[in-house]
Structure 1
């Protein structure tokens, strides 16, 4: 038996296959069709069929999406993937690959994967935050994803900036009001993501650099980068503090491209107490154990028989 995990992103679709012991056996990646629904379905079906042929079996399929599937009519909410936003994907994929699929939010998959980690075996409440193309979140409670009444729990990326975050952004300059893909203004998705990291730097310093370039400048002790990272650490800390107050996790695990900025974790851990309510034990903020593969690993775990 093989478990196939698919991670659907705004730019790529990644498939990884695992055996029963969750040892990775296969990895494939293709571009995400952005505008054509038919091309998207074809791409997903083709990559699954290719994995079947390569491993000489029909794998069990779990899919992580940057959004949610309606329990009522199976439509997908995924503003960052226009090809499938508002459409039904389950029925077409299942009919063409001739087996059931398991769909969940990509951040839930990430949290699920990190909760099934021997190093976190004493942590029953794992809050996963993804700092990627957008800002996503998932909550695993005793190694099970929390979904809410409408499969839309933990859509924290579409939470508006709080007053503390607005004050951080307003220091020395009027705060930027950025429009989200969902149509609203001020969503955390536009500020706490890797894209937001780059956009905010450009707003304050009138120069466009990639996140890795800004991070390199920070490590080289360049003034603008050091000042900006200090502001961003404050912004991230005060933005996630209400979620720590609300969900009271044992640990907060970060994934996504920006989570690879190792130097930010000491900054977050030394500040988070000042933004959260007093508690017996403040959750530790850590980098994902399984790195960039954690979301796709969690998607595969969706398909694992109970």
Structure 2
């Protein structure tokens, strides 16, 4: 059985046909247009191109997108692609494709991909943690996505940083309007902002890591604060959900040794005599989103 996954990103849209063995049979990318109606037309065109290439039609289609569908209104909310907010994305795509579609938050799709045949394969519970321009996540239990009662499962980026130090109070203002959200501390822009507050120098996360590796004490301190905050955030998830595996995604997950360094800090924050939760770097990288979207349709 072949499933089509769609990763609707802010700058690019990817469509891929994935077979039951996890092999990509065809994939195509294009720039994501600004207007909502243009996004719908683009997805329909890319799906049509995929099916024509495979000489198939009416294949199952799953969509990964920023934000989430409100179970109350049926409309997209909390998307950083503003044109999606207030729109019935699932219904509009179903009409454009002339078939049912399944939609999920892009971080949830990442988690599902890594749980099924990625770094978390074989684990009964996997939490995918996105560390990029924003911070998001998804929880997969027994290879099934757990979105929660209000479809908000995994939104740990908009919980407060736990066990703050005096220096961390009241914390930065988050784009959601609250202060000290985890996203405002451990996203890519947050790491850069924290380093600038302490050094007066504007650097990317990759630059900070490289400076620390070369022996720069200020950069090393910035990286140390980041890893400690990440450990605190993940420890809270362990204390509530206790997943078997964390899989890290997003641009910051590419920093060498981040998973190992963070894992060593967990015991001081987790309410247990020992911590066996693994922290792993993702397997599928940028392709996790589109693969997870395809896996929104059951494997059997």
TM-score (norm 2): 0.91
The more displaced of 106-115 and 141-150 is 106-115
Separation in 1, partners of 2:24, 2:226: 35
After TM superposition, give the deviation of residue 106 of structure 1 in Å: 1.8
Partner of 1:22: 22
- Aligned-residue offset at 1:258: 1.0
CA distance in 2, matches of 1:60, 1:77: 24
SS of the residue corresponding to residue 114 of structure 2 reads helix
Shift of 1:82: 0.5
| Partner in structure 2 of residue 136 of structure 1 | 136
Match of 2:173 among 165, 174, 178: 178
Judging changes above 3 Å, is the alpha-carbon distance between structure 1 residues 240 and 126 closer, same or farther for their aligned structure 2 residues? same
State the match for 1:55 in structure 2: 54
Structure 1 position 246, deviation (Å): 0.3
- Equivalent position of 1:43 in the other structure: 42
What is the alpha-carbon distance in structure 2 between the residues aligned to residue 279 and residue 253 of structure 1? 23
Equivalent pair of 2:161/2:180 in contact (CA under 8 Å): yes
| 121 and 2 in structure 1: CA distance in 2 versus 1, 3 angstrom threshold | closer
| Mapping 1:148-227, distance limit 5 Å | 148-162=148-162, 164=163, 166-167=164-165, 170=167, 176-180=171-175, 182-227=176-221
The aligned length equals 299
Compared CA separation, residues 17 and 237, structure 1 to 2 (3 A) = same
Tell me, in whole angstroms, the C-alpha distance in 2 between the residues paired with 1:152 and 1:56: 37
TM-superposed deviation, 1:25: 2.1
After the TM superposition, which parts of structure 1 deviate over 4 Å for at least 4 consecutive aligned residues? 118-122
Change (3 A) 1:89 1:158: same
TM-score where L is the length of structure 1: 0.89
Distance in 1, matches of 2:184 and 2:5, equals 27
SS of 1:116 mapped into structure 2: helix
2:124, 2:282 → 1: CA distance?
16
The 5 Å alignment of 1:233-272 reads 233-272=227-266
Partners of 2:295 and 2:114 lie apart in 1 by: 11
CA contact (8 A) 1:269 1:284 kept: yes
CA deviation string 1:172-227 (max 9, x = no partner): xx7651331x3333322232222322232223222222222222222222222211
Q: Secondary structure at the match of 2:52?
A: helix
The CA RMSD over aligned residues, in Å, is 2.2
Whether the 8 Å contact between 2:136 and 2:155 is mirrored in structure 1 is yes
- Could you tell me how far 1:137 is from its partner in structure 2? 1.1
Residue in structure 1 matched with residue 94 of structure 2 by the alignment: 94
Deviations 1:24-68 (A, max 9, x none): 12232233334x222222232222223223333233211112221
2:81 alignment counterpart? 81
CA distance in 1 between counterparts of 2:118 and 2:217 reads 40
Give the superposition deviation at 1:91.
1.6
Q: In structure 2, the residue corresponding to 1:108 is in which secondary structure?
A: helix
Q: How does 1:96-111 map to 2 (within 5 A)?
A: 96-111=96-111
* Equivalent position SS for 2:95: helix
Distance 1:31 1:74 in 2: 26
In the TM superposition, what is the alpha-carbon distance from 1:13 to its structure 2 partner?
Answer: 2.0
Structure 1: gaps spanning 5 or more residues:
none
Q: 2:202 & 2:30 partners in 1: Cα distance?
A: 28
**Gapped regions of structure 2 (runs ≥ 5):** none
Partner of 2:286: 292
1:122 Cα deviation after fit: 4.7
Contact 2:129–2:249, Cα closer than 8 Å, also in 1: yes
- Deviation digits for residues 132-155 of structure 1 (CA, Å, limit 9, x no counterpart): 221111111111111111212221
